[in-house]
Each structure stands twice: as structure tokens, then as C-alpha cells.
Amino acid sequence: MFFIGDVHGKYQRYKRVIEGRRDTVQLGDMGVGFFKLRRGEIVPDHNPPHERMVEGNHRFIRGNHDNLDVCTRQRQWIRDGTVEGDVVFVGGAYSIDQGVRTQGLDWWPDEELSIVELDRLIDVYGAARPRIMVTHDCPQFLEATMLEAVGSTISIPTRTRQAFDAMFEHHQPQHWVFGHWHRTLRTQWGGCTFTCLDELDGLEIA
């Protein structure tokens, strides 16, 4: 399976990444469902290349910079908590910059799953015991590693990361791949290899 980091609406570059490939999974922040102001009117921003994605089975999970309501109408979106064989998919994350964004245009209050939803997915994960975990963000215990990588000291524990901590305590997958942090980094934690992918970077996991 080939994984692709955040796209952030850069669909021309995304099309070049998926060209000649099949069966890819993009790790959230595709940029789905954004709106913008044009001459005082709210209009949709650009959308992903859906026909090309369908043809090659190019799919995505949602990030914090994706409109969940629009994602639910996209054929190529992988729903949170989907289990496919030995792979589990969970999207969503907290936006550190939500204070400078506008609700309904480029920020949505359901960017993270609720506590109830995350509790349910902890059970789903525990039953599935995946070999590969696919998420937009990482567990809370990796925050310090990622903050150092991006040169930040702003620590914000989130319910999504804390739920991932609980999942990891239940079961350690062989691979955990995520985006969100805009860095490519690989680190080992116990028996699990964690890989963060930078914007439009790619990784094949057999």
C-alpha cells in the first residue's frame, strides 16, 4: 500500500504523485470542502481530481483541514474506524491555528471525533489488532518528538492523540503512518515503526 502525505489542495502536484500508481491512501488534509470569499460571496474552492482518483483507486482519510460533511459525499473517502484486513484507518485532528480560521470556510468544529466516537474506535482497534495503523495525527506520547522535529514548543494534548495512546496500549502494530506535522520522520517505539510523511511525500508499506 502506498501512502501520501498532506495535499492541502495542491491537486496538480497530487496528480503527479498518483500518476502511474494504483491503490494509494492519502493521510488527510486533502483540502476537501473548502470555501472562499469571492466578490463578497461564499463560493466553493477547488476540489480533488475525483475521476482520476476513482479510476486508480486513490483514496484518502480526513484531516483537520477537510470538511467532514463534504467528505461523507466523496466516494474515495475512507470512513473513520474502517478496518480492511490488517489495516485500520482513523482521520481527524486538532487545528492549532483554528483561532485565525473561519468556521464554515476553512475550519469545522467536528475536525476531531467526539470522545464517545473515539471510545468506540478504541474497541474497534482492540478487536482488529492491526498490523498497519493509518491516521492523520500521531499518539500523544510522540508529541515531544514531533515538536522537536518542527522546532515548536507549543504542546496541546488532544483527545484524538490521547485515544491513540489508549489504542497503542491495547496493541502495538508493526507500522503506524501519519501526516499532519509537515515533516518526514521515522522513529521506533517498542515493536512499532512510526512514520510521519511531509506534504505530498510518499511511502510504500508491503
The pLDDT score that the predictor gives to residue 39 is 76
Question: Model confidence at 5, in pLDDT bands (50, 70, 90)?
Answer: very high
Strands of 175-178's sheet in order across: 82-84, 87-90, 132-135, 175-178, 192-196, 185-189
User: Which residue type occupies 30?
Assistant: M
The pLDDT score that the predictor gives to residue 46 is 80
Q: What does pLDDT average to over the chain?
A: 95
Q: What is the pLDDT of residues 121-158, one digit of tens each?
A: 999 999 999 999 999 999 999 999 999 999 999 999 99
Q: What is the pLDDT of residues 14-58, one digit of tens each?
A: 999 999 999 999 999 999 998 877 777 777 788 899 999 999 999
Is the predicted pLDDT of residue 97 greater than 80, yes or no? yes
Is the predicted pLDDT of residue 110 greater than 80, yes or no? yes
Give the mean model confidence (pLDDT) for residues 91-119.
95
All three cell numbers of 79, joined, read: 470512513
Give the mean model confidence (pLDDT) for residues 95-120.
95
Give the mean model confidence (pLDDT) for residues 177-196.
97
Domain at 36, CATH number: 3.60.21
11 lies in which domain range? 2-204
Is the predicted pLDDT of residue 6 greater than 90, yes or no? yes
- For the entire predicted model, the pTM comes to 0.95
Q: Which of 17-21, 31-35, 80-84, 94-98 bottoms out in mean pLDDT, i.e. has the lowest?
A: 31-35
CA-to-CA distance for 167 and 188, rounded, in angstroms? 17
The pLDDT score that the predictor gives to residue 42 is 73
Beta bridge partners of 177: 134, 195
Q: Give the three-class secondary structure for 81.
A: coil
User: Which residue type occupies 113?
Assistant: L
> What's the number of domains the chain is made of?
1
**Segment (H or E) for 192:** strand 192-196
The pLDDT score that the predictor gives to residue 177 is 98
